[in-house]
Amino acid sequence: MEKSKARIVLRFALVALFALLALSIGLAFVADKLLPETLAEWYRADSAGDFELTDLLTLLFWGAGVLLFLVSMGGLFFYQRWAAWMMVFVLALFSLQLLFSPTVEPGILSYLGSLSDILTGLVLGIAFFTDALQEGA
């Protein structure tokens, strides 16, 4: 793929990925209302209780992950190779958390997550397998 075309596709994919991320975060605030009643009850019961230190640490962990992911997206928007490696490491590190806790989410969030996985793969494929991030003409 020609460098200029690869850069256009990369930027378009990054903007689309950012939009999906923003939409997913917004929908996560109303996730319990999008679940079937039985799952919504379990979700509320699992989230009920006082705010504890572990909740704060989890929130900080995910906040740091989102922030680092956004930094890597910003770097890739300006064609920085370090940002591609940063995105790989952030995704690898923060995906490990999913192994240690059950996840209940509405179908729409699962669908958006799958779309964001596809776009992330596209972004990383363009970053590593085209000359979109090469300097010079």
In the chain, which residue ranges form alpha helices assigned H by DSSP?
3-28, 31-34, 37-47, 53-77, 81-95, 107-129
Instruction: Name the token pair of 110.
Output: 């699962």
Return the CA Rg of the chain.
Answer: 17
Whether residue 6 contacts residue 131, with contact meaning beta carbons closer than 8 Å, is answered with yes
pTM (two decimals): 0.85
pLDDT value for 66: 93
- What is the per-residue pLDDT across 11-31, written as a single tens digit (0 to 9) for each? 999 999 999 999 999 998 888
pLDDT value for 28: 86
What distance lies between CA 77 and its chain's CA centroid?
16
Regions of the chain with pLDDT less than 70: 136-137
